[in-house]
Amino acid sequence: AQAGWLQHDFGHLSVFKTSKWNHIGHKFVIGHLKVLSQRGLLEPICHQGASANWWNHRHFQHHAKPNIFSKDPDVNMVHIFVLGDTQPVEYGKKKLKYLPYNHQHQYFFLIGPPLLIPVYFTVQIMKTMITRKDWVDLAWSLSYYTRFFFTFVPYFGVLGSIALLTTVRFIESHWFVWVTQMNHIPMEIDHEKYRDWLGSQVGGQHHGRSLTDDDSSRDTPSLFATAVLYHYLHDHHMSHMLDLCSKPAWTFSFVLELPVIKTGDCCSLTLYRLAATCNIEQSFFNDWFSGHLNFQIEHHLFPTMPRHNYYKIAPFVRSLCKKYEVLYEEKPMWKAFTDIIGSLRKSGDLWLDAYLHK
């Protein structure tokens, strides 16, 4: 299971110093080894023989606009669930009833964790690689299946090997659906509110160089989060903490040259990130069980930071949020799990009320 967190590290370029080796490692781990990913109910969570390009395309959009309809693919529930406070009312007013959404907190147990990996992603990944003619990722994927069946068919036969593969995916699907939803589903999910204007205004060019020239540009707003934190740490004579990040040198040059960011800008940027995610309390088990993504706030602010450094930077992020009166939400894991069901129940009730009375 920990291979999933490893491929996530490679995907965020946080293992090696160069992008090239991170990309190679990512394709090997996600395509050839057993793969588990994270973020979002309809995002790659746990899969063997998957596509690195498919994962990158979805996951980078999630980091750019978390929990924003039409921009974050992880909240595209393909009419199976309604999320947040806005979407259920919209569905209800339009009399849309693809499923009885007032019972979605119940059928979540039947079609969410059990079927996401064994059925939905198995089909979607293969379809995506073939239709997009992504032959390199398809070759990596086929190398996984070749190795798997070559290893297990002599012991269990063809049908037995397929049953083994499906069973493993079924079990792991439960684990990772619950882990990945605890940080996002209970949080604010809505249409674009254009709160992150700072990143879009300044992030395009710097000294004539386009941010798209480097892989780290996939999460441009986080550069400004880094800048905010840099100035905070600099004020506290702790700017050496920036070494905890894993970013190209030119990025830090860009960050260090930014002017001091005003309080209003800091709140605008940080609120955008923290409204969509929360942290889970730290413990040895929680760190291991979630691959250190119980520090989800820090991960979204610093997506290229190696995950074993999140706990080091967390106190400073928390202090910064307190200084600017921005909510920094942290909860026990058991409460995070129950909040998933509570959020689905609330959204379902909103849909039913709008469907019947509006």
Range scoring the smallest mean pLDDT among 3-7, 240-244, 346-350: 240-244
For residue 87, pLDDT over 60 is answered with yes
CA–CA separation, 182 vs 197, rounded Å?
Answer: 27
Range scoring the smallest mean pLDDT among 140-154, 202-216, 240-254, 338-352: 202-216
Express each pLDDT in 60-78 by its tens digit: 888 888 888 988 888 888 8
Structure tokens at 38: 């994270």
Q: Are 52 and 343 in contact (CB under 8 A)?
A: no
How many residues are recorded in the chain? 358
For residue 259, pLDDT over 80 is answered with no
Range scoring the smallest mean pLDDT among 38-42, 110-114, 328-332: 38-42
CA–CA separation, 275 vs 60, rounded Å?
Answer: 18
Best-predicted range by mean pLDDT (122-131, 247-256, 330-339) = 330-339
Query: In the chain, which residue ranges form alpha helices assigned H by DSSP?
Result: 2-11, 19-31, 52-64, 86-93, 104-111, 122-131, 135-181, 197-202, 220-235, 249-256, 263-274, 284-290, 296-301, 310-323, 333-357
Express each pLDDT in 132-183 by its tens digit: 999 999 998 899 889 889 999 999 999 999 998 888 888 888 887 898 889 9
This prediction has a pTM of: 0.77
CA–CA separation, 292 vs 295, rounded Å?
Answer: 6
Reported as a pLDDT band with limits 50, 70 and 90, residue 101 is very high
Greatest CA separation for the chain: 65
Average pLDDT over residues 94-99: 95
Structure tokens at 169: 């995916």
For residue 199, pLDDT over 50 is answered with no
Average pLDDT over residues 188-193: 86
CA–CA separation, 357 vs 92, rounded Å?
Answer: 9
